[in-house]
Structures are given as structure tokens and as C-alpha cells.
Amino acid sequence: MNRWLSFVLFFNVFILNYAQQKDSLGIENRPLSFNLKKTIVPVALMTSGIIFDANGRKSLKNEVVEERNEHLFGFTNHLDDYAQFAPFFALYGFELGGMKPRTDWKNRTAILMKAQFVNLGLVYVLKTTLKRTRPDGTAFSFPSGHTANAFAGATMLAIEYGENHKWVPYVSYAFASGIGVMRMANNKHYISDVLFGAGLGILSGKAAYWTHQYRWNRQKSESDPFAGIIY
């Protein structure tokens, strides 16, 4: 919990400093239209996570854990605890580096907050409702919150910068996948947890864009609103 609070405080300071340095009024703020085909991958990942969550000894999730214990027994690090937040800083850092985003910083921040509200809210509800045991014996395994967080950020990066910089989606999703692999290497999650978390993160990020109304930073109309009505 302290790690999450520290991130929120640091992120708020980062955003305030960013806002003072960058004026994004020239950005087009083009809405992202809903596309049913764009739900196929995240829904497939979530479905796979549910299917592979079987508890049999020969189930895929337990076989992956056995392989991990055979080759990486005793392996542990905390890099994934912090790296999961990297895509969110890149959302603003890339623009500071000269890359043009799809959305100005105010709308981008509103979208980010909506995506995280849905993403982390669902992760919390599922964890506390299902109460799945982790591979290391601790509680709240399904789904992987770290993976969901990383993929939500990767999705936003892909949407914001992918059109003008084709390499961004590949790098961002590869990075997020690395977070999921690290969670399994650390014996904190099964592959089913990671697959479902990845799909949930992607879908949360896309849904936040599909439903956003872009009410921040709207350009003021140059036409006279009373012309032809009053005079």
C-alpha cells in the first residue's frame, strides 16, 4: 500500500511539473472510435486466463510453476514492483522528448485516471472475491495486478504514439509482457493470472479512450454564437 501511495504522490508532482513546462493546445485530440475487432485480443487473453486456471496437477499453470521451480528455484527480485509504472511516465516523457501524442496532457491524464479506476478496481474486486492462492502460498493471486497495470500503460502508449511512431506498440507491449514473465519468475503468479491480467489491462485502456468525451482544452469557437439569432 505504501508503494502505491508513494507512486501516486510522485506521479502528481511529475504531472504538475510537466504541465508547467508543456503547452499541448496544438494537439488535435482525435477521439478513438469503438472497434469490435479491437476487443478480440484482450477478450482472448482473459478467456485463456480463465481456461488455464484449472487446479489439476497436470494443468498448464502448475506445469509452468514446476518448470520455474526446476530452473529458477530461489530466484527473486523487486524490479517488477517499480517497472510496472514505467509506461505511465513514458506517456508524458515521450512528448517531452519531442514525440507528438494523440491527446493533450489534460485529456490524457483524465483517460489515464479512468483506465486505472476501472483496471485496478476490477483487479481488487476479483482478487478479494476469488481469493486464489499464489504459487508461493500467499493470497490474492488471480488476476495479476502488476501485469494488468503494465498492459494498461502499454495500451495507452500504443494509442498515443503508435500512429506516428510504429515501434512504440511493439516496445510497449514487449515491456509489459516482460513484467508478466517476471511475476511468474518471482513465483508470485500463475500463467493464468498473467494472461487474464494482460487482457484486462488492454481492455481497460481501450475502453477509457472509447468512452472519453474530450471536454478538456476544447478550442473556443471563433464564430459569434448570437449571429442570426439576436441580430
If you write DSSP's letter for every residue of 146-181 in order, what string do you get? HHHHHHHHHHHHHHHHTTT-THHHHHHHHHHHHHHH
Residues 6+ apart with CB under 8 A from 149: 84, 85, 116, 119, 120, 201
Burial of 9 (0-12, 13-18, 19+ CB in 10 A): exposed
pLDDT at res. 133? 94
Q: Rounded to an integer, what distance in angstroms lies between the CA atom of residue 85 and that of residue 78?
A: 13
CA 188 to chain centre: 19
- The model's pTM: 0.83
pLDDT of residue 59: 87
State the pLDDT at residue 3.
53
Q: Can you tell me the distance from the alpha carbon of 135 to that of 188, in angstroms, rounded to the nearest whole number?
A: 6
> Per-residue confidence of the chain (231 residues) as pLDDT tens digits?
445 445 544 554 444 444 444 444 467 788 899 999 999 999 999 999 999 998 877 889 999 999 999 999 989 999 999 999 999 999 999 999 999 999 999 999 999 999 999 999 999 999 999 999 999 999 999 999 999 999 999 999 999 999 999 999 999 999 999 999 999 999 999 999 999 999 999 999 999 999 998 876 555 444 434 344 443
The whole-number pLDDT of residue 225 equals 41
Cα separation, 178 vs 187, in Å, equals 14
Cα separation, 138 vs 50, in Å, equals: 20
Tell me the three state secondary structure of residue 41. helix
Q: Which residues have a Cβ under 8 Å from the Cβ of 131 and sit 6 or more positions away? A: 139, 140
The amino acid that residue 105 corresponds to is W
Distance CA 61, CA 51 (A): 10
**Under 8 Å between Cβ of 56 and 145:** no
The pLDDT, as a whole number, for residue 20 is 44
How confident is the model at residue 218, as a pLDDT? 57
